[in-house]
Amino acid sequence: MRNIIPYFKKKNDSNESHGSANIAVWIQEYLVLTACFLYFLFRVHPKLILELQSPAFLMDINFFKEFLQIPGGLIDWLSALFMRFWISDFFIALFLTLCCWCVAFLTRKWSETLTENRVFHTSHLIPAVLLAFLHSQYDFNLSITLALIVNLSFLNLIVRWTPKQAVIQIAAGIIALVLLFWITGGAFLIYGVIFGFNELIVKKRYVNGLFILVCSSLLPYIASSVFLVTLKQAYLHNLISENSIKFWSVGYFIPLFYILVLIIASLTKIGVIQKLIKKIAKLIRLGELSIRWRYALGTLLIICGTILLTEKTYDKNLHLELEIHQFMREGRWDDVIYTARQCAVVNPLLFHQINLALFQSGSLLDKLFSFPQFFGPSGLMMDFNWRSISPVKTSDLYWKLGLINESLHWAHEALELKGPTPEILKRLGMAYMIKGDHIAARRFFLNLKNVPFCEKTADDLIRLNDAPSELTQDNDAKYIRSYMLTKDFIHLNTVSSVGLELLLKQNPNNKMAFEYLIAYYLLTGNLNGIVNYFPAFGFFNYSQIPRSVQEALLIIASLNSNFDQNQLNSLVQPITRQRFLNYQQILNKYKGNISGAKPELQVQFADTYWYYLMYMMPEARQSEKQNEFQ
């Protein structure tokens, strides 16, 4: 492609030194990649990638051997190792930018072999900025980028090596082909196809080129019958994303880019094409531009194109959702609530996190309906489908409540789904330790010790596990043991209050179980359940009855003419009573037409239990169930 440039130059440009051009390219790469780094750091916040991708990694020989059993496993292992050191946005942004620079540098060096070592600028940055774009979407695997770097490195070594006998180069190329397949998986096709076409089109070694292309196409097919991989995995693993990603077409374009460059570079050597290029260059007067201006325009084009692509595809809600996940792990409950108000994502997992954050911040029963509870009780406890999607968060919820067996069950589900990540290993070890199975607990703690940066935590837990007498004095262990159920019960796949009721029966001090049970009753419209547990509000020394419960009491009193009005006045704040009267007045204004009253009620009362019960509760959106308000 770069042999186009001589036709674009004026005669006085021919004396510009090769060194000056190289400096200009380095400046161009510095400017573009600095822009990528700043975008990663201040816009993407790349630590959020770990909320979608948290690869398991153990410094253990058996763990390492598992990766050697499949093609591409070695690069997967290396990717998991690097991601264990992703401790800050700055470091991750720097690491990803360095990866992008490696791709740009290796692409430029390979392209220069096609243009008789003329300096190559601008277009070699396209794969790098596309990779930066894909990583900014959070779901793109690091292993794909690392595999590309490894294959481009081998490609540059092979095509630049010119032994006296061509057969030696071909033999080395075939050996590298097999080795790259084992190291990087399907990504070896980038090396194999480019090397094959290079022999076929550039060097005119037709037999060699066809032989390399045939070997490249057959090797994954043969490997699929030898290794424990499917045919699809053999061909695609680490070449493109095997999982569904939002911008999959960009992932496909990156390997195709190198084929296009090879074809274009070959076409420009044809005499007819060269004459056509001369005419086009003369027509648009591009040759009148100095080399500095051409590099500047190329840099501006790449940066502006990347900004336009990233901003047009930026998913603010995904960013906010991942921030919520991060804040939950870090226990930043107020940040969870604040961020959730800005996020337009609606699913049971998000509402589970919101409600947990409301409890942890001490406002679950006061502000439960400040968020529209679209999913009812499923947004509180999650149904079976969402538990299966988010087993780690499910295990965490049950652990906090004191349902240790359920927490253990979902931790094992998470282990099967995600592998031995630090939080899963810690949860499994602690669950077994609390249950008294110290042998099983020790096994998981020893695995945790093999995770980088987790050695101290693991040592402390092993010491605690090996000293049962000391465990009985540990505050966290005493807390969980005082709340945990000591009897088994059948836990249905549906969202149920059974576990919460049993927890309170065993230990009435379990405030989380109490608030979650009351919230469950509110969300299911079980007013009798609230009445039955009403004395517990005095037991927990609430300064006043939570607002959502006050709103429920007004409904109960309106349905029961025998309800003690003096008691109601002492429990319900005047402002809440007045709002209830205003709510009823609007309903009367529309003569019971709840559909007609909805817009006006939504403006003033969308954050109330009354509005939820009438319009939001999943099981009771029919108007006939709401006539009790009138």
Residue 282 has pLDDT above 80, yes or no: no
- Give me the number of domains the chain comprises: 1
pLDDT tens digits, 410-442:
999 999 999 999 999 999 999 999 998 999 999
Domain assignment of residue 143, yes or no: no
The secondary structure of 162-189 as a DSSP string is: --SSHHHHHHHHHHHHHHHHHHHGGGHH
Q: What is the average pLDDT value for the chain, to the nearest integer?
A: 86
Cα 361–chain centre separation:
26
Please give the radius of gyration of the chain, using alpha carbons only, rounded to the nearest integer.
Answer: 32
Domain assignment of residue 625, yes or no: yes
The SS3 of residue 601 is helix
Domain assignment of residue 490, yes or no: no
Look up residue 29 and give its two tokens. 């790469």
Domain assignment of residue 554, yes or no: yes
Helices marked H in 84-203 — which ranges?
89-114, 126-135, 142-160, 166-184, 188-197
Domain assignment of residue 600, yes or no: yes
What letter represents residue 128's amino acid? A
d(CA 379, CA 376): 6
What letter represents residue 10's amino acid? K
d(CA 533, CA 536): 6
User: What residues make up the domain containing 565?
Assistant: 533-629
Domain assignment of residue 543, yes or no: yes
Cα 186–chain centre separation:
23
pLDDT tens digits, 208-250:
889 999 999 999 999 888 888 888 889 989 987 666 667 777 8
Domain assignment of residue 273, yes or no: no
Predicted TM-score (pTM) above 0.85: yes
Residue 550 has pLDDT above 90, yes or no: yes
- Structure confidence at residue 570 as a pLDDT band (50, 70, 90): confident
d(CA 445, CA 457): 9
Domain assignment of residue 161, yes or no: no
Lowest mean pLDDT among 138-142, 166-170, 486-490: 486-490
Residue 575 has pLDDT above 70, yes or no: yes
What integer pLDDT is reported at residue 349 of this predicted model?
A: 94
Q: Do the beta carbons of residue 71 and residue 227 sit within 8 Å?
A: yes
Q: Which residue has the tokens 């053999």?
A: 234
